[in-house]
Chain A
Amino acid sequence: MIEWRDHGVVLSARPFGEDGLLVRALTREHGLHAGLARWTRGKRRDGFVLQPGVEADMVWRARLSDQLGLWTLEPVRDHAGYWLDDRRRLAAIAAAAALMEAASAEREPHPGLAAGLEAFLASLASEAWEAAYVTWEIGVLKALGFALDLTCCAATGATDDLIYVSPKTGHAVSAAAGAPYADRMLPLPGFLVGSGAYDDKAIADGLKLTGHFLSRDVLGVLNRDIPDPRRRFQDLFAESAIERP
């Protein structure tokens, strides 16, 4: 019998039979792992519903390592439960969970990804959580080997007036150097280079930026699309930025 104990975040919980859920969770030591939990969908146990965004202590058991395995879950916090009346935070939790499920390699330990997700979920309580989401996605790109370089201009080496990112290289570009190619550049919101506050448009720009590289470099090579919840999350800010220019 193989058995291990870990801590992680539930990314999805799909019904499996009448009283089972097929749970995929991102754990600290064992990465993205699936298993069957004896837990009826929508039923509360110890005050918790098993859904994306639930942080839990987990035990995984199986007779052989290549089997689906059984979860024993002890939830410690339901992040979605905290923010049921907040549309954007709920959308962020759904987007983060769906993105992690789509982008993580199964059964490949990646403590950085798990820690990053837990840190982002904890940051939802802060005022600057929207910026934290964009920063978290940049961290995901970096952890998966596709780091953006936003420190200086790719063309001139300048460190100020950085307002674009090259969609090819992921390198920042200054206003002057990027002007001739402005229509092809990705906008670089100021809050990512420490200059200026952020608004809905800046967050929408940040999500467009990370979405481009997630789609091309991370999910594209896996033949996967950007997950619907991530797309909807970006739409919330894009629509708001259009309504309130």
Chain B
Amino acid sequence: MPAPAVERLIQQLARLPGLGPRSARRAALHLIQRPEAALSPLLRALADVQDTVRTCSQCGNIDGRDPCEICRDPERDATALCVVERVGDLWAFERAGAFRGRYHVLGGVLSALDGVRPEDLAIDGLIRRASAPGLTEVVLATNATLDGQTTAHYLAERLAPTGVAVTRLAHGMPVGGELDYLDDGTLATALRLRRPIER
């Protein structure tokens, strides 16, 4: 039977995404058996995160500074704003390196099932940012799900009075996708939104 302190550690670890009680037990044992190599660095990293990391008041990103590095970067394209559901989506865009504008994290999507209403999301902040002079395009990068696209349609309507161009991510064939393995909806959407080949 582990000591109460170890049991508490296991319980806390088991609450993390991706970890169950068994893997939490293994992780706890790993940390305890390697205090210098694993436990102390982890404690310092956790303390650092607690002390320094905050949510950007402009875009909702998680960063060591407020405003975050992306919002402060003068090299970023100030005319384009990409709206994402969660910080993880923002990080995915940054990993891809395909977008050089700024972001706005909604904090979720509208969902009747989960009781998420417009006032629960960072929509007022988005409207304020979209109304600022200099911004010409808002890219709605919500997930290609019923809730994600319902939110995108709602945002497009809310953004219409600002006069800014509102675009959304394309739907269709994934890069490297094979037709035979695509679901009907993706295939139908790809066909409906086909475009001419550039010569």
Map CB proximity to B onto A25-46 as digits: 1 under 8 Å, 0 otherwise.
0000000000000000010001
Of A49, A75, A85, the contact of B145 (CB 8 Å cutoff) = A49
Query: Size class of B's contact patch?
Result: 20 to 34
The answer to whether A85 and B149 touch (CB under 8 A), given A14-B114, A94-B112, is yes
Cα A93 to Cα B150 in complex, Å, equals 11
The answer to whether A47 and B182 touch (CB under 8 A), given A87-B153, A90-B146, is yes
What B residues does A77 contact at CB under 8 A? 184-185
B1 within 8 A of partner (CB) = no
A52 within 8 A of partner (CB) = yes
A93 touching B146, Cβ below 8 Å? yes
In chain A, positions 48-85 with a C-beta closer than 8 Å to chain B are 48-49, 51-53, 75, 77-82, 84-85
What B residues does A229 contact at CB under 8 A? 112
Interface size on A, residues (CB 8 A): 30
Give how many A-B residue pairs fall within 8 Å (CB-CB): 68
Map CB proximity to A onto B135-175 as digits: 1 under 8 Å, 0 otherwise.
00000000111110110010000000000000000010000
A18 touching B17, Cβ below 8 Å? yes
A82 touching B189, Cβ below 8 Å? yes
The answer to whether A91 and B150 touch (CB under 8 A), given A47-B181, A77-B184, A82-B185, is yes
A interface with B by C-beta (< 8 Å): 12-14, 18, 42, 46-49, 51-53, 75, 77-82, 84-85, 87, 90-91, 93-94, 98, 227-229
B interface with A by C-beta (< 8 Å): 17-18, 112-114, 143-147, 149-150, 153, 171, 181-186, 188-189, 192-193
Q: With contacts A52-B113, A84-B149 known, what are 20 further pairs, Cβ within 8 A?
A: A12-B113, A42-B145, A47-B181, A47-B182, A49-B145, A51-B145, A52-B146, A75-B183, A79-B185, A80-B146, A80-B149, A80-B185, A81-B186, A82-B185, A84-B144, A84-B185, A90-B150, A90-B153, A94-B150, A229-B112
